[in-house]
Amino acid sequence: MPYIRDIRPTKSELISLKNRLRIAKRAYNILEMKREGLIIEITRRTPEVKKEYDLLLITYRRVMHLLAPAYMIEGMLNLTIAAYSVESRTGIEITQSNLFGVRVPVISGTNVRTDLTERGYGLLGTSVIIDDLADAYEQLVEAIISYSGSLVILNRLLIELNRITRRVKALENNVIPSISDAIAFITSAREELEREEQSRLFHIKKKRN
């Protein structure tokens, strides 16, 4: 009980400890509310992240399914030329948002999906398989960015939840009980001193009479 060590059973010490207890209980209530909010948000986001992961796997399998016939139909050279002919470049933008006091990164992509006529390679000199493969690849990149952004936010929320949970448990199991024990110790000591003082005054008055 760290709060009982080296404390003086004085009125000022008692008032100080009561203020600490009030602040600790207030902090506990605030952190507990934040913890419950984080749990609700994590519970809501987890199935969404799972869906995005499943979509990512489906999109990846579609790209792999189209890649083999594209090599067979167009050949390595034509696929390479078509890939290097694409003029638009996908970019990644990272901003920040605030969730329950937690700063989380928001990841988004730019120039992920392009129109068929804006991809750069010649439409007349290529087959439909390249168009399908390019479209599937863009969907895959979009799915990767979406899943990565959602996963980063979920991980940040989980880290914050663990941190808040440790603080809540420390307040609940250590700080608040220790301060309460210290208050009880000082209260008992002051009551004992008051009884001794009353007894001393009683004997002094009795001797005088």
Check residue 158 and give its pLDDT.
95
Domain ranges in the chain are: 2-203
Angle in degrees, 0-180, between the axes of helices 11-85 and 128-170, rounded to the nearest 10? 170
Is residue 80 over pLDDT 80? Answer: no
Rounded average pLDDT over 66-83? 76
Residue (of 122, 52, 55) closest to 85 by Cα position: 122
- The residues, any chain, with a CB within 8 Å of residue 37's CB and separated by 6 or more, are 100
pLDDT in tens, 120-137: 555 555 567 777 888 888
Question: How far is the C-alpha of 144 from the C-alpha of 121, rounded, in Å?
Answer: 24
pLDDT in tens, 149-183: 999 999 999 999 999 999 999 999 999 999 999 89
Rounded average pLDDT over 188-202? 73
Considering the four listed CATH numbers 1.10.287.3240, 3.60.15.10, 1.10.510.10, 1.10.150.20, the one that applies to the domain covering 2-203 is 1.10.287.3240
Is residue 83 over pLDDT 80? Answer: no
Of 191 and 65, which is predicted with more confidence?
Answer: 65
